[in-house]
Amino acid sequence: MLQLRDLPTPETLHKFAQRYPEADISAISSFLHLLRVATDLSSALDECLQRHGLLQGRWWVLILLMREESLSSMPSTLADKAGVTRATMTGLLDGLERDGLVERIFDAQDRRRVSIRLTTSGQARLDQVMPDYYSRLRLCMAGLDEAQRAQLQAMLGHIASNVDAFTR
């Protein structure tokens, strides 16, 4: 995703809007601000995770496993839930297995299947990361009270319901 260190000035937006009459200045501005804040949050999250020797993709896989009663799931399910391809998931699991945070268990019934299981070492790593992550997140969102958070989510919902307009 774009990093967007340098958002357009009002002058720049105006200049672009002159050349491209399709431009809706406040729409562009809101969109870019949203992406900007999201990427800033994502970078901050990266930094937090790296202190614990994790990267976003791998960390999210651990969380998905911890959500399961059995602490295990299949690569294809994990790929769907994480929003990546199965090929990408293979790579993430390779890394996690190499670090001993996860183990592959081959299914004897259906020999195409593999079960991915969170190891005790993986659980321990999460127990180390999550309190830190949650504490930081609490501080980060402290600027908004409950009502504002609800309002933010409502507005995000309005956008989300129109995202397919972008694609179509």
List contacts with DNA (CB under 7 A).
Answer: 1-3, 55-58, 74-77, 83-95, 104, 109-114
* Residue nearer to DNA on the CB measure, 44 or 144: 44
- Angle, nearest 10°, between helix axes 25-50 and 56-67? 80
Listed residue (55, 44, 61, 57) closest to 3, CA to CA: 44
* Part of the chain binding a second copy (CB under 8 A), chosen from 17-25, 94-102, 103-111, 112-120: 17-25
Q: Indicate the burial class of 92 (C-beta count within 10 angstroms; 0-12, 13-18, 19 or more).
A: buried
Residue from 14, 23, 104, 106 in contact with a second copy (CB under 8 A): 23
- Name which of DNA, a second copy, none residue 121 binds, using a CB cut-off of 5 to 8 Å depending on partner kind: none
DSSP annotation of 117: E
Cβ closer to a second copy: 85 or 121? 85
CB of 120 to a second copy, least distance (A): 15
SS3 letters for 3-43? Answer: CCCCCCCHHHHHHHHHHCCCCCHHHHHHHHHHHHHHHHHHH
Distances in whole angstroms, Cα of residue 60 to Cα of each of 26, 54, 67, 92, 105: 34, 10, 11, 10, 20
Among 136, 118, 120, residue whose Cα is nearest residue 51: 136
- In the list 50, 106, 107, 141, the residue contacting a second copy (rule: CB under 8 A) is 141
Site for a second copy in 86-125 (CB under 8 A): none
18's contact among DNA, a second copy, none, with CB below 5 to 8 A by partner kind, is none
153 binds, among a second copy, DNA, none (CB under 5 to 8 A by kind): a second copy
Residue 130 beta carbon to DNA: minimum distance, rounded to whole angstroms: 18
- Nearest-approach distance from CB 89 to DNA, in angstroms: 7
